[in-house]
A and B are shown apart, each in its own frame.
Chain A
Amino acid sequence: MNALLPSHAPAPTPAPNPAGELLDAMGLTLTLPERLLHDETGQRFEPPQLQADRAPVQLLAFLMRREPVGGAELLIQENQRQVRAQLPVQLNRAFGSANVAPRALLQELLTEVRRRKDQLDARYQQHDQTYTRTQARLHTWQQHAANGSGGIGRGLIRLIFGGDARLTLPEVIALWNQREYQALQRLTWAAACDVATACLELVTDLLNRLDDLLDQAHQYAAHLEQSVPPAQRTAPPAGSWSVSIDAEVVTEALAGMRYHEGLGGDLLQRLAAMTETETLADQVQELARQEAERCLAPLSIIDLIELEARAGAHTHAADPLVLLGQAHLEALQRPTWQVCRTARPRVETLQITPDGTPIYSLDGLGSAAYGAPPDRLGFVQVQFGVALDELTLLHDGDAAFQAALQQRNLYVLEEMARTATTATSEREDMRWTDFTAANGTRDVAASVTDPTRAAGAGPVSG
């Protein structure tokens, strides 16, 4: 029995119609003609209307106009242009963010746009027919009014009391006013039909080009996959920095971030506006470059270092920038010369940042500016004030040097060569004296070639 009672179940919700909702959002509805009549301040355009209290001659001039006065053409054209310009934008934005499959949406859109266009066309036909009838009646009256004879007096009489078309003046004025109103209606509905036609063409065009674009997209994706960026082909070239930011790692880290959400929509918008000479690859490349530049623009060298560091395994380690600084300061400790233990060179160590603002804080660590470009960070250590004989080379290799000097001159400057020659001769003489005193003969070959015998010679001063 209960089954006979009226059901209290909620009414079934209408099935979602994404295409209809999209077209509603785009304004392609039966209210579009009305929207086209409003200016930017929201003021509606009102057609000119005649009043019977005008001067008869002036009234006659208006009533005898073959075509409506109008006046809304420019406003409607501008509004129509704006709506048409927004069509691809809104359509592409919808494709970029909608959850429905674009191909299915496009097909639904095609059906829905056709249906709405038919409705708009039908309404336009009605307005056109109404207008045509009114225009015909008014033209008939105008013809009779113009063809009559008897001068102005008779003409006025016909005008006031009705001529052969049997219309009184108030009736003619009402007819004229009606024509202005209907002309406006006809114009707005025609403009709305144009918008619907443009939308239909856009959707049809997108649907037709979809397969072609998909082919292009697959080809370009394969090309990107196969080709390698130029700088990756070789090892870091000579004349490069000590450490380079790894573009691949940074890019990988950036990929974790979300790109601009409307990027897909922007691509569709570009595809819709694409000329015949352009390709999908051009559009994708340009859009991707803009997005890449937008992503990278706010990132300083510090941000890039942190991004690269955090993309690695040491995500939870200490501040990566500090670790990097420590590693580089340690690298600066590698010797660049060999000095005696007693040498105490003066040491200046600087961090070099883009504008000289310190990044690190450490006693004895100064700071200087690198200048443009801003993508550099460095450390430099300068050691000053070492004397010549504080270099270990002067002590370690002294014997070999003196031995070589006995065989040949090693100096470029004449005065040093002369001094060295004199010193060598003196040593030779001394050695000759010592040797002859001991042995009574001279072993020239041994004195020249045996470096151990020359090791006792003192350093040659410049």
Chain B
Amino acid sequence: MDIHKLQRYDPQAVHAPTHALDDRPGPPRDQDVLLIGAGNSGETVTLRCQALGYRDGRLLPAIGINNDRLAPRAVTVCQDNGTPVSLALTDRLVLDGENPRDQLTAYPLLEERYGIVLRGIPVFETYPRAGAGGHGHPVIAALDIDLHITEVLALLRRAIRGLRDLPPDVPGQSAVQRLIARYQQRQDAAPEKHIVVIGGACGAMGNATHHLLPYLIRTVLAEHGITRYQLWGVVLGPQAFTGLTPFVRHNYRAVLEALEHMSRAGQQRTYLNDLTIRMQRPPYDRVFLLDDPTLPGEYAGVTEAELDHFLDRAAVSLSLLLRGTVWQTIASHIANDDGVPREDGRLRYLNTIQGVLIGADRAHLTEVLTRRVARTLLDQFCRRFAA
């Protein structure tokens, strides 16, 4: 820590009015995208993607799932009129409560499952600090999901309901007219939905989420009759998280092996609420691995600034993929063979993305230029009229 770089904290972001998703009088809600942030880094990238969308005049629906009560730091963005607004990820499910390992005995299903899964993990490391994260143990975060499966499904159902293209209710419209409007809309080709699960693979919650949430999401999407969709997994790490816990690289490798396993075998899993998933599908339609192999910099572990910068870049890269015709263009290109032989039979589903975005804040530009013109005008006025 270089103490000479200590600066005063700028509380401006904290003072800006914070808006929740539901009461925000901001841009229109995008009905074709859903961002799901899991764990601290996943939630942070999700919020930053949302901020980028907000600056572009669209509200990307986003939810968070975590077993850490600490929400990602609010992000200040400017509205069209230049007014700063502090965006916070408010629609989040925090899985906390009693020591999850103590609850295992109450559920034979979980007791049997976690008897194997918790092999070698000392209780000292998983002793409850409820609501303060899984401390690098994905197994504990998975247990949290298992124990809170009802709440998790409720969160997903609520979020995915927003993806349905229900025509807006017109005042004075009768029930029959509403029904006809919905039926007519169903006849049209529904736009493809993008559900993006963003989470680190090196900690607890993001890692566990990449194992369990994809199939729960597919289940809820099927419940809502949504068949035209792309489910993407954005896996963050491992270099960017170096030094955060002792298990960073191991957890990362374990999740990649699990994704490979599920990409071959699908998933069969029973939850406490009697939901049984039997899917012969890969967890994600596309997996994007995002990392910065140059990290950490000068220290043994990543600094907060380095991590912050990495998460910013991840958000820019990901949000670019979700903009305009970017993904459509890429999809049309990769539909054709690039001529490189890859016939070894290995599964090739891993991708990565890197993006840069140059932006001009026209409201701020106008503000600065207005001040400049005003100063010129005043100067002219004073010079001319003082004589």
Binding site for B on A (CB under 8 A): 95, 101-104, 210, 213-214, 217-218, 220-221, 224-225, 229-231, 233-234, 237-245, 247-248, 250-251, 254-255, 259, 263-264, 267, 284-285, 287-289, 291-293, 295-296, 301, 304-305, 324, 328, 331-332, 334-338, 344-346, 348, 350, 352, 356, 366-373, 375-391, 393-394, 397, 400-401, 404-405, 407-418, 421, 460-462
Query: A residues within 8 A CB of B24?
Result: none
Q: In the complex, how many angstroms separate the beta carbon of B168 from the nearest chain A beta carbon?
A: 21
Given contact pairs A334-B294, A345-B352, a sample of 11 additional A-B residue pairs in the complex whose CB atoms are under 8 Å apart: A102-B387, A234-B12, A238-B51, A241-B358, A247-B364, A264-B377, A301-B360, A338-B239, A344-B342, A369-B324, A369-B326
Query: B residues within 8 A CB of A331?
Result: 354, 356
- Give the docked Cα–Cα distance between A428 and B357 (Å): 53
Let me know if B373 and A288 touch, CB within 8 A: yes
Query: A residues within 8 A CB of B381?
Result: 213-214, 217, 264, 267, 284
Segment of B31-39, B90-98, B249-257 in the binding face = B249-257
Is residue B291 within 8 Å, beta carbon to beta carbon, of the partner chain?
yes
Query: B residues within 8 A CB of A382?
Result: 321, 330, 351-353
Query: B residues within 8 A CB of A385?
Result: 342, 348-351
Known: A337-B293, A352-B320. A231 touches B361 (CB 8 A): yes
Query: A residues within 8 A CB of B289?
Result: 336-337, 391
Q: In the complex, how many angstroms separate the beta carbon of B84 from the nearest chain A beta carbon?
A: 6
Let me know if B138 and A412 touch, CB within 8 A: yes
Q: For window 60-93 of chain B, which residues contact chain A by CB distance below 8 Å?
A: 73, 75-78, 82, 84, 87
Let me know if B56 and A412 touch, CB within 8 A: no
Nearest CB to that of A95 among chain B residues? Answer: B384
Q: In the complex, how many angstroms separate the beta carbon of A156 from the nearest chain B beta carbon?
A: 71
Let me know if B75 and A237 touch, CB within 8 A: yes
B310-333 to A contact mask, C-beta < 8 Å, 1/0: 011101110011011110111001
- Give the docked Cα–Cα distance between A369 and B326 (Å): 6
A417's partner among B119, B328, B334 (CB-CB below 8 A) is B119
Q: In the complex, how many angstroms separate the beta carbon of A282 from the nearest chain B beta carbon?
A: 11
Let me know if B364 and A414 touch, CB within 8 A: no
Query: B residues within 8 A CB of A381?
Result: 353-355
Query: A residues within 8 A CB of B321?
Result: 380, 382
Let me know if A287 and B261 touch, CB within 8 A: no
Let me know if A375 and B354 touch, CB within 8 A: no
Query: B residues within 8 A CB of A386?
Result: 348, 350-352
B249's partner among A296, A348, A401 (CB-CB below 8 A) is A401
Q: In the complex, how many angstroms separate the beta carbon of A26 from the nearest chain B beta carbon?
A: 20
Segment of B176-184, B188-196, B206-214 in the binding face = B206-214
Let me know if B324 and A352 touch, CB within 8 A: yes
Let me know if A410 and B250 touch, CB within 8 A: yes
Name the prevailing secondary structure of the B interface residues.
helix
A376's partner among B87, B340, B357, B371 (CB-CB below 8 A) is B357
The 9 sampled A-B contact pairs (Cβ below 8 Å) are A224-B374, A240-B52, A291-B370, A368-B326, A369-B324, A377-B359, A380-B321, A386-B352, A387-B346
Let me know if B368 and A376 touch, CB within 8 A: no
B385's partner among A103, A221, A336 (CB-CB below 8 A) is A103
Query: B residues within 8 A CB of A218?
Result: 382
B254's partner among A287, A304, A412 (CB-CB below 8 A) is A412
Segment of B99-107, B110-118, B152-160 in the binding face = B110-118
Query: A residues within 8 A CB of B269?
Result: 414
Let me know if B260 and A462 touch, CB within 8 A: yes
Known: A291-B373, A388-B347, A410-B254. A238 touches B75 (CB 8 A): yes
Let me know if A393 and B253 touch, CB within 8 A: yes
Query: B residues within 8 A CB of A328?
Result: 356, 358
- Give the docked Cα–Cα distance between A411 and B10 (Å): 42
Let me know if B326 and A350 touch, CB within 8 A: yes
Query: B residues within 8 A CB of A367?
Result: 329
Is residue B230 within 8 Å, beta carbon to beta carbon, of the partner chain?
no
Nearest CB to that of B253 among chain A residues? Answer: A401
Q: For window 270-323 of chain B, which residues contact chain A by CB distance below 8 Å?
A: 289-294, 308, 311-313, 315-317, 320-321, 323
- Give the docked Cα–Cα distance between A247 and B369 (Å): 8
Nearest CB to that of B368 among chain A residues? Answer: A247
Let me know if A412 and B212 touch, CB within 8 A: yes
- Give the docked Cα–Cα distance between A149 and B262 (Å): 127
A301's partner among B207, B358, B374 (CB-CB below 8 A) is B358
Q: For window 110-155 of chain B, which residues contact chain A by CB distance below 8 Å?
A: 113, 116-121, 138-139, 142
Is residue B218 within 8 Å, beta carbon to beta carbon, of the partner chain?
no
Q: In the complex, how many angstroms separate the beta carbon of B111 from the nearest chain A beta carbon?
A: 12
Known: A221-B375, A368-B325, A413-B211. A378 touches B361 (CB 8 A): no
Query: A residues within 8 A CB of B73?
Result: 238
Nearest 3 CB-CB pairs, A to B?
A462-B261, A408-B120, A239-B51
| Most interface-central of B75, B113, B375, B385 (chain A CB within 10 A) | B385
Query: B residues within 8 A CB of A414?
Result: 113, 116-117, 269
Known: A229-B364, A250-B365, A401-B249. A378 touches B355 (CB 8 A): yes
Is residue B386 within 8 Å, beta carbon to beta carbon, of the partner chain?
yes
Query: B residues within 8 A CB of A417?
Result: 116-117, 119
Let me know if A243 and B258 touch, CB within 8 A: no
Is residue B47 within 8 Å, beta carbon to beta carbon, of the partner chain?
yes
B366's partner among A240, A289, A352, A376 (CB-CB below 8 A) is A289
Let me know if A296 and B386 touch, CB within 8 A: no
Nearest CB to that of A220 among chain B residues? Answer: B378
B56's partner among A376, A397, A400, A462 (CB-CB below 8 A) is A376
Known: A247-B364, A377-B358, A388-B347. A239 touches B120 (CB 8 A): no
Query: A residues within 8 A CB of B12?
Result: 230, 233-234
Query: A residues within 8 A CB of B247?
Result: 404, 410
Let me know if B367 and A229 touch, CB within 8 A: yes
Q: In the complex, how many angstroms separate the beta carbon of A285 from the nearest chain B beta carbon?
A: 6
